[in-house]
Amino acid sequence: MKIKKLFFFPIVYVTFFSLKIFSNTIEIRSYKEYTTLKKNNPNIIVQCYANWCPACKKAMPTFDAISEHEMCKNIICARINIDKIPKIKKELSLIGVPTFVFIKNGQQAHLEIGIKNFDAFENHMLSLIKKHL
């Protein structure tokens, strides 16, 4: 029994730790962080999500993979929990989640509400990045 525990904990730790290291997605935790990010970065994609939303949770790993794509090397990929920062929800006039906001030079360039096809989601997002950023 002790041997299983010794092997189990390091595997969990390494898996959890690896996810944190290799994702380029940042979590915005306040309205001030959001406005500072917009002011200081020309190209941003924001995933607006809610903890209660299954589609939001399903999209997160793909959004993280997109943040690591070569096409996104000069783009900030961020995530905002709209239930924790309702001022952003109001500012963006969000009507649903997940919503992906493309911001160019501080201005909203495109708003993508929902995910129509999870299988094509990554390619669809990359085509939107090419078009809007």
Which residues are the active-site residues? 53, 56
**How many whole angstroms separate alpha carbon 8 and alpha carbon 16?**
12
Scanning the structure block, which residue is given the tokens 């809610």? 50
Q: Distance from first CA to last CA of the chain, Å, rounded?
A: 54
All residues at 6 or more sequence positions from 103 whose CB lies less than 8 Å from its CB, including other chains: 38, 43, 44, 45, 46, 109
**How many whole angstroms separate alpha carbon 71 and alpha carbon 62?**
14
Scanning the structure block, which residue is given the tokens 């380029």? 24
Ramachandran assignment for 111, one of left (phi > 0), alpha (psi -120 to 50 degrees), beta (any other): beta
